[in-house]
Amino acid sequence: MQTRKGRLNEIRFVAADAIQKIAAVKESRRPLRLKVESWALSMAHKCGVNVPKVFDYFVNSDGQEVLVIERIPQCVLLTRCSPREQTIYMFDAGRQMALLNQSANGYGWIDATTFQGCYGTWKEFLSSYINIFGSRLSTAKIIDPESIAKIAAIVRNVDLPLDFPYLLHRDLKLSNLLVDKKSRVWIVDWENAILGDPLYDLAIVGVREGHNFIWQNLVRGRSLEVDSQRYRLYEALALFGFLDFGRRYGQQYKGLRKQLVKLLNAL
């Protein structure tokens, strides 16, 4: 049986058509993240997005979450495709993400019991996000308190129009996109899903990739306006998450901190 281990999960290829995703780490803030991923996959599938089917979800005898999902046959990672193919496929990924408007209530983190957002408004979630991550980064002396106060004030005062929540992936990258033999793009790894503004998903990719052809074609496929204060705000907030990840796992983050300072000065 083929196995692949990551920081948070272990992947077991248990059959020709099935994969087991096992939570190797139980996070205090997201103790049932694979249960949420199971729901997110089901919702995305109903919306018409190409995602693996969910076969089962359970907690094993060791107390670990186990998510059993479809194994996409004869597929390749988008990372192994040519730049021209990546351009086409990223556009298609953006087109699929546009389908993810939700009937669920609430915004932000998804409750694993009700499958609703934990906040009444998108602004409430963003304010809580800044408070939680800002506190950690300030304590670690990665971001100064003045910068955190500035971005919190911007969130309070900026117009954030959002009629209803979209399902957000929050980890769109080439390694989470598969292409099958019929050239269909499949979007995998939904454990970071939340409910909110789809522009935020584009901002996360913009921070990770820069505004290169990958990001540009995702934007084209998603058809959203990125030349706005709202988009720049979301890039700054995405950097909060990346900086906290670097803090937790001992990765270099000086470049990300400079990027955040530059964004905050432009807001």
Reply yes or no on whether the pLDDT at 23 is more than 90. Answer: yes
- Whether 179 contacts 78, CB under 8 Å: yes
Q: For strand 76-77 and strand 166-168, is the pairing parallel, antiparallel, or unpaired? A: unpaired
Q: What is the pLDDT of residue 252?
A: 74
Q: What is the pLDDT of residue 104?
A: 76
Alpha carbon of residue 250 to chain centroid: 21
- Cβ atoms within 10 A of the Cβ of 152, count? 15
Q: What is the pLDDT of residue 51?
A: 98
Q: For strand 185-187 and strand 177-179, is the pairing parallel, antiparallel, or unpaired? A: antiparallel
Give tens-digit pLDDT for 151-165.
Answer: 999 999 988 888 889
Report DSSP state, residue 224.
Answer: -
The sign one gets for the Cα dihedral 158, 163, 165, 171 is: negative
Among the ranges given (31-45, 94-108, 203-217), the one the predictor scored with the smallest mean pLDDT:
94-108
Average pLDDT over residues 13-21: 93
The sheet carrying 76-77 orders its strands as 76-77, 177-179, 185-187
Average pLDDT over residues 82-109: 92
Reply yes or no on whether the pLDDT at 244 is more than 70. Answer: yes
pTM exceeds 0.75:
yes
Q: What is the pLDDT of residue 266?
A: 85
Which residue ranges form the domains of the chain, and what is each CATH number? 2-70 (3.30.200.20), 76-266 (3.90.1200.10)
Q: What is the pLDDT of residue 215?
A: 96
Q: pLDDT category, 1, cuts 50, 70, 90?
A: low
Reply yes or no on whether the pLDDT at 49 is more than 90. Answer: yes
CA–CA gap between residue 104 and residue 159 (Å, rounded): 22
The residue written with tokens 């107390």 in the block is 63
Average pLDDT, the chain: 93
- Which amino acid appears at position 246 of this protein? G
* Stretch (H or E) spanning 67: strand 65-70
Reply yes or no on whether the pLDDT at 88 is more than 70. Answer: yes
CA–CA gap between residue 130 and residue 150 (Å, rounded): 11
Reply yes or no on whether the pLDDT at 114 is more than 70. Answer: yes
